[in-house]
Each structure stands twice: as C-alpha cells, then as structure tokens.
Amino acid sequence: MTKTLLYSVFALALVTTPARALAQAAPATPAPGNQSQPANEPVAPVIAIIGEEYHVELQVNGFLSVPSTVLYSDTETTTATVNGTSTSTVVNGTLVDFKTLLNLKNQVFPEGRLTIRLVPKHKLRGEYVPMHFKQSIASLGSDFKFNGQTYTKGTAVDSTMRWNEWYFAYEFDPIVTERAYVGAMAAVSSLNISAATADATQNGTASVNIMMPGLGATGRFYVSENVSVSGDFLYFYLPGSDTSTHGHIMNTNFYLTYNINKHLGAQVGYKFYDTTHVWSSPLNTGSMTIGGPFVGGTAHF
C-alpha cells in the first residue's frame, strides 16, 4: 500500500512539473483594455507656397479695353455780346455716344497695381490705369451739342476720352490658411474724366473729378504651390439726388498667376468697370461700361 501511494505521488509530480514550467515560459496575454496604441500615421507635408512671402507685390499688365458703353454729356452757358449788350444762353448738351457716333475703338492701356504688406493680415494697395481713347470720324452721322458748341452732320470730328482710373485701399485679411486668404477693403477713388471734341472751326473740352469712398472684397487661392487664382471686387459710391453731384464706380478683377520663382511671375486675367455720374453745375453726366482681358507679370520683394 505504501509503495502504491509513493508511486502515485511520483507520477503526479512528473505530469505537473512540465506544465508548470510551460506556464511560466509563455508570455502573458494583455487584457483587452490594455492593448498598446499603434504608432501615429505620417502627416502629409505642408504645401510650400512660392511667391506669397513678400513685403511688396508689384503687378504690371497690358489691358485690352473693350468698351460697350461710353456716354458723355456737357451743358454750358454761353455769353454773346451784341451792341454792348450781353446775352447768356444755356446750351443743353447731347448725351454723346463716343462709341457709335464718334468711332471710339478698343485700345490697349498699361495698368499697374501695388500691394504693401505692413504686418500679417494688414496691407495697403492701389491701382492705376490711364485710359486715354483717341479717335476720328470723317463724316459725322448726326448733329450733337457738346461744351456749348454744335457739331453738324457730315463734318469730320476728332475726339478724345480720358479716364485716369485709380484707387487706394486698406486691406484686412480675417481668413488666412496655408493655401488661401480672404480679405475686406476700405478704399477711395476718383472718377476723373475728361472729354474733348474738335472740327475744322471749333473745339471744346469738358471734365469732371468726383471723389468717392468704397468698400470691397479680395481673395486668393493656390491650386498648386506656384499657381494661384485671385479676385478683387470694389464698389465706390457717392450718394446724391437728381439735382446734386453723385455717382458710382464698380471695379472687378479676376486673374490667374504662375509664379516662376519667389520673386517673378506671369499672370492673365479679366477686368471690368461700370460707372455713372452726374455733376450738378454746370450739368455734366455720363456712363461707361468697359471690360477686357489683361496679361502681364508680377514681382515680389
């Protein structure tokens, strides 16, 4: 009996000892809630924008103006003296269509735009486009009155229309991201227009200069590291009644820029203007709608 008991204890020890050793050698299985976190996935690199790190941006373009409406009227008071007696006469001006009546054509003008970044999100900017139309017609299609003078049908008439378009603005960009910005502008401009007509016996010039405040919006988006799409919209307005001086200017630009490097780029776009004005005394009125493409370059400093 004793031998049988000792043999049973010895056999049990042989069976349990390897199992206990295997249990000690096996790695512990982690609890479901204590599993280790996977390594962080790689982050895509930030796009390296070319041409946006500047203090001064200068844009110079050639603007192919395509006027659809150029209307201008000037009323003057003329004075004639006969036998020592002076008589004043108000000559109401014709609303002259410089495009259809006086043969105003599409022309190319230079344009320049300057942006100065003062600090991040704050900029000063301006634009200047000297539009000086000059044209002639060999035989006038109908009579018209301008600057107190009468031009009769069938005569040869030379004429000019000048608009020194400019604005100055402060820009604040509330939204700035890696690829884009959106900004608001407070600006001032001047409707500085001068028109002249002449035939073989007479000539006359009328001009107007109306300062106007304005507001606008601007934005730019980089579709790639060196290609951007930009747009500007400005609306200038001077309120007034039918008998007082008033007017508006709408100025819109859309353009695509390819930055060759951080200093130089090329651009192409489209520009659009729409204006109306009334000058109270002497009465001077007009309206213009001018659009057209432009192409040129940009420099960053």
Domain count, the chain: 2
The pLDDT of residue 90:
85
Determine the distance from the C-alpha atom of residue 157 to the mean position of all C-alpha atoms in its chain, rounded to a whole number: 37
Residues 6 and 129 in one domain: no
Which tokens is 137 given?
Answer: 């017609």
User: What is the reported pLDDT for 9?
Assistant: 40
Q: Supply the pLDDT for residue 22.
A: 39
Q: Could you give the CA distance from residue 243 to residue 280 in angstroms, rounded to a whole number?
A: 6
* Bridge partners, residue 257, by sequence: 228, 267
In a domain, 50, yes or no: no
Q: Residue 81 has what pLDDT?
A: 77
Domain shared by 111 and 18, yes or no? no
3-state class of 105 per DSSP?
coil
Residue type (1 letter), 109 = F
What pLDDT score does 55 carry?
Answer: 96
The β-bridge partners of 230 are: 220, 255
Is 67 found in the same domain as 7?
no
Structural domain boundaries, residue 22: 2-28
pLDDT of residue 266: 98
Q: For the chain, list residues with pLDDT below 50.
A: 1-28, 33-34
* Domain membership flag for residue 33: no
User: Do 19 and 82 belong to one domain?
Assistant: no
Do residues 20 and 79 both lie within one domain? no
State residue 4's pLDDT score: 44
The predicted pLDDT at position 250 comes to 98
pTM beyond 0.85, yes or no: no
Query: Distance (Å, rounded) from C-alpha 286 to C-alpha 74?
Result: 9
- Burial grade of 102 (CB within 10 A; 0-12, 13-18, 19 or more): buried
